[in-house]
Amino acid sequence: MATLARLLLEEEELCCIYLLLRLKRKRRWSTRPLNRRRRDEGEYNVLVRPMRGMDEEVHFKYFRTSSSRFDDLLLAVTLRVLASGSNQQSVAQSYMMGPTTVSLIVTEVCEAIWVALCSEFLASPNTEKWTEIAKEFWRVWNFPNCLGSIDGKHVIIKAPPRAGSDYFSYKGMHSIVLMAVCDAAYKFTMVDIGAYGRESDGGVFQECSFGRNLLHGKLHLPTPANLPGSTVNVPHVFLGDAAFPLRQNLMRPFPGRSLDDAQRIYNYRHSRARRVVENSFGILAARWRILGRPMEFYPQKTVKVVKACVALHNYLSCTDAGNTPATRYIPPSGEWRGVVAGDNNLLDIGRLSKARATRAAVAARNDFKSFFLTPEGCVPWQENEQTLRCPSP
């Protein structure tokens, strides 16, 4: 024991000496010679400033935001990293800055973006806000009492040092989990970012904050309400795909292929409204190309980067009305689909829960199924041949 204590003391002394030597070491330059020309030759002054007044559409493609909204943020380096997907080294060279400086800027600015925008553009909905969201889902996507669609994605990262198997997912790569709920207008209402990738095979839903709060009744949801034009009282629900459990406030489609027409119609209506979250993820990955490839950051920084992208997504979505079609964050033509086709770092996750459905949940889904067959609940196109042939999700 005495020998071990002596070795530990010697190791501590060596560490102290090493740190003192590092402190005494003088830097060769305060600014590297190549970077001293940044005011005259750096990308910000050569390209970004002239671009603002000359070509608004190019500015939008470069930063994913119009110049007027760029003035609200003034985050050229960070926005360029997030929007282009370029690595920090190449952006540092373009702006004639040190790679370490750019790395620190991206980390700190992403954290500041989340803090600045989260409370206004990603605040947890109260009962009144949930009710407004439900009205929009019925108006736009023809699904009543719907509070949002939910989905989870793997965000692929480089292998963290000494992380063991915590971040190693069943897909054979390291990842963190992004769980999100969105409203009828493609805006995220709740996100949970950072769960270990290895948890995606069953326990992640109960472990994430949304899942826990939903299961324990802490989301301030509206009380059950009658379906439009009827006296059938059903709970307000979120819509998930087959990976999610069937709960009283969380609907999933009918499983299997041997379904009757009523079940197929329900699955079609369910899928139509649930696809909103898939589209939201697609827009997010198309606009912020940092999400188009595996993250070269450690998990803690990846969480900050993804949070910043989500916050910017909601901010730009909420301020989209005054822009031209060419500079809208969410284009009406859906052109973003071509951008993310085969080039997306947000991957589907496996089964999120092994919990068995409750009787109340089964009854609620059956009530929705029956409602979609009534004059008050049906839509003209739900019984066409293609819908009825379509396999269940």
Q: Tell whether 113 and 134 lie within a shared domain.
A: no
Q: What is the pLDDT of residue 193?
A: 86
337 belongs to a structural domain: no
List CB contacts of 14: < 8 A, sequence separation 6 or more.
none
Give the span between the Cα atoms of 383 and 227, in whole angstroms: 21
Whether 129 is covered by a domain: the verdict is yes
Tokens 């969480």 — which residue?
303
- In this structure, the answer to whether residues 52 and 113 fall within a common structural domain is yes
d(C-alpha 323, C-alpha 264), whole Å: 40
142 and 246 part of one domain: yes
- The confidence band for 391, taking pLDDT boundaries of 50, 70 and 90, is very low
Residue 4: pLDDT over 50? no
Domain that holds residue 219: 124-295+345-389
Determine the pLDDT at residue 200.
Answer: 46
Assess whether 242 and 362 both reside in one domain: yes
Domain assignment present for residue 166? The answer is yes
Q: How many CB atoms lie within 10 A of CB 3?
A: 7
Q: Is 279 exposed, middle or buried (0-12, 13-18, 19+ CB in 10 A)?
A: middle
Which residues, including other chains, have CB under 8 Å from residue 351's CB and lie 6 or more apart? 201, 202, 243
318 and 379 inside one domain: no
Domains identified in the chain, total number: 2
Q: pLDDT tens digit string along 54-82?
A: 667 776 776 666 666 555 445 788 888 99
Confidence grade of residue 7 (pLDDT, cut at 50, 70, 90): very low
With a pLDDT cut of 70, the percent of the chain lying above it is: 71
Average pLDDT over residues 296-307: 90
The predicted structure's pLDDT at residue 321:
75
Asked whether residue 274 falls in the same domain as residue 142, the answer is: yes
d(CA 271, CA 277): 11
* Token reading at 373: 């067959």
Q: pLDDT confidence of 9, banded at 50, 70, 90?
A: very low
Q: How confident is the model at residue 342 (pLDDT cuts 50, 70, 90)?
A: low
Question: pTM for the full model?
Answer: 0.79
Q: How far apart are CA 98 and CA 91, in angstroms?
A: 10
**pLDDT for position 160:** 72
Choose between 248 and 322: higher pLDDT. 248
pLDDT at 6: 44
Phi-psi region of 64 (alpha: psi -120 to 50; beta: other; left: phi over 0): left
pLDDT above 50: residue 201: no
- Give the integer Cα–Cα distance in Å for 349 and 200: 6
Angstrom distance (rounded) from CA 380 to CA 54: 48
Residues 91 and 134 in one domain: no
Residues 221 and 362 in one domain: yes
pLDDT band at 322 (very low <50, low <70, confident <90, very high): confident
Compare 126 and 75 and report the one with higher pLDDT.
Answer: 126
3-state SS, residue 168: strand
At residue 73, the pLDDT reads 46
Provide the pLDDT for residue 239.
96
133 lies in the same domain as 217: yes
Say yes or no to pLDDT of 176 above 80. Answer: yes
| Cβ-based neighbour number of residue 14 at 10 Å | 10
On whether the CB atoms of residues 193 and 307 are closer than 8 A, the answer is: yes
Asked if residue 23 is part of any domain, the answer here is: no
Q: Tell me what the mean pLDDT of segment 183-197 comes to.
A: 85
pLDDT at 45 over 70: no
CA–CA distance, 308 with 89 (Å, rounded to integer): 20
**DSSP 3-state of 348:** strand
Lowest mean pLDDT among 76-80, 88-92, 334-338: 334-338
Strands 237-239 and 250-251: parallel
- 15 occurs within a structural domain: no
Is there a single domain that holds both residue 307 and residue 265? no
Asked whether residue 21 is assigned to any structural domain, the reply reads: no
Mark whether 308 and 235 lie in a shared domain.
no
182, pLDDT greater than 90: yes
| Rounded Cα gap, residues 186 and 353, in angstroms | 25
- 291 near 283, Cβ under 8 Å? no
Residue 107 forms part of a structural domain: yes
Q: How far apart are CA 336 and CA 243, in angstroms?
A: 25
Cβ count near 273 (within 10 Å):
22
Same domain, 38 and 75: yes
Q: Average pLDDT of 10-19?
A: 46
- Range with lowest mean pLDDT among 109-113, 116-120, 269-273, 334-338: 334-338
Would you say residue 2 lies in a domain? no
